[in-house]
A and B are shown apart, each in its own frame.
Chain A
């Protein structure tokens, strides 16, 4: 349900508008029969995909919207409650707290990996060291591991007798050792750092590939004008990476918004509700407690937020 959140902007425009435009444009200009036929053939090839997409994405999406206006246990007759599920999501202290947690996670899942990614990309593209491919490979590795494995590994690392606390004790910082995932103050940042680690490599690889497509003449020109490494970064590299930044921002922010697996495996939203995210609240409502309407409302809000974020970022990055 949550994964579909980012999809509509990509899929929706194509589906309904294309046949309409084709018809309208066809009348006055009278394209040749061959061109018209090839257009229909193209649509014919796309049709199975479009139908499938409509059935598995659009129909459930609309159903979710419908369910979100009912109080429904998934079995008995649903009761129309209007926007109650939405107002509850925004007013219930426990559900509302999930927004604050998501903001913290955005810092760890998006801001930090992108900053680190930019820094490492700047360093790695400026100097050509032997074995660079190995660095990239190491940093990219978390990206190809499933989040379940990453969560389980970090659960061990953060354990009271785990490597992190052992290391702290070994260097004489034993007073800093704590139950990271059971601590009201530290559980959320600890979760966030897992996301930073997992997302950083992706951002770095994205930025390195983007930077390599920046024409070398620009750098030469900058250097001739007497720009140092910092100036060069802000004047050449950063503007050249606008497209990649948009992609990275969209993916990491929506990723932070959708965080479920990391939390579910490590803390289940605890201690207390200090790491509860909207996706975990959605899962609880949909599958643990019979509150399908509430779950749908959470899902719709998340989908809208994802859509809004994606549109805003695209708009900003395309603006000159």
Chain B
């Protein structure tokens, strides 16, 4: 009896599975034609009463910024209501593809840049091609090329970094740069460093004086230091091309090996927080804010500086040896319009508003880093914010933005994190770290080729 039952169960399961497998191929159901022949318009007032749903992943000051931007837009166009929903970053990026397939899903959303999220959404025809709006609003002229590229894909979806607009940046940015503890630097009698050589000299002096040169922890990642150093060494164009899928450029061309060698030597010199390999990210940040450590490479905004802290810490974007400034930087999200949005004109006007000078000024007023617009009025008493704003002005002027290297493949961030831990433990060489990055990206490029 029991045997019989087991056989029945197995048989039923097998039949059902076969039926399911043979049934249909998952995905690819969206057949929306993108050849929107209707002329685009920037006349928002003429659109009648419109409600747009917005999904984004911003909290605290960033959330207040987007609320302020909505308020400004609704005040200008009383016929428009923007209905905002906020979810945490991981939640939104992992479910956005489902949300955008839902007829009641968001009209506008903040996606993650790169292939992991934006590329997949564009390729799946879930987000609108924004070229006609880019022309209408002149985004090609206003947005620095290096930032514009971050939102572009070729329409055969084999290449990121050129082609059509599928998302827009924001009037505020996120950079990787060097924070320093003002009091400790003063006590050491040092000026804020301007180049990598300055920094290493300062770090040596700090170590001699018994200070921890770099507040750091690597147990759950912590790639800002590698990416920050790489931006000071790399050829800007090579790094851009590597990330934007140019198979002619390899990881070795992006000075990754040199950057890895540099940070490994820092680790070996004892310049990182003692036992950094067992310290997690949150603790490392807390340690730095607590006065343990003179410097820290960090994403802007991630330290959560406020009040007095804005003057206790400074920010610099170190220049390359040539004097030019290159920095990892992007909008902290890519704004997309859903393919099924019924009022794309209104949605595009809102995205344009999010890139406006007013948006940058609002960001500065809330202690956030402005981007795209250089003529902002900075508060007098916020040293770190002044440093961050100066950095974006320099990067805007030099067109010196490079994207996050992990955009080059969906798995690259994991690969880099793992190999940095292996590097610190002496289990791989800087060269092997570069090889691992190259192998990861090559595998992904091959996959892209298969898809086309």
Contact = CB atoms under 8 A, between A and B. Distances in A.
A270 B418 contact: yes
Contacts of A69: 21
Interface string A268-295: 1111110000000000101111111000
B277 A182 contact: yes
Interface residues of B, number: 52
A160 B275 contact: yes
A181 B278 contact: yes
Contacts of A12: 9, 12-13
Contacts of A290: 97, 115-116, 120, 410
B26 interface: yes
A74 interface: yes
Interface in B195-213: none
A273 B26 CA distance: 31
B255 to A, nearest CB: 23
Interface in B417-452: 417-419, 421-422, 425, 427, 447, 450-451
A237 to B, nearest CB: 29
A70 B25 contact: yes
B25 A78 contact: yes
B123 interface: yes
Interface stretch (B42-50, B69-77, B217-225, B349-357): B217-225
B414 A76 contact: no
Interface string B109-130: 0000001100011011010000
A65 B28 contact: no
B90 A287 contact: yes
A14 to B, nearest CB: 10
B23 interface: yes
A49 B5 CA distance: 21
B31 to A, nearest CB: 11
A270 B417 contact: yes
Contacts of A179: 219, 275, 277-279
Contact of A268 (B23, B101, B221): B221
Given A75-B121, A289-B116, A284 B414 contact: yes
Q: Which of A71, A158, A159, A178 has the most CB of B within 10 A?
A: A159
A72 B26 contact: yes
B418 A159 contact: no
B79 interface: no
Interface in A1-52: 8, 12-13, 16-17, 20
B27 interface: yes
Given A17-B8, A271-B277, A272-B425, 5 more contacts: A12-B9, A77-B28, A158-B278, A269-B414, A287-B94
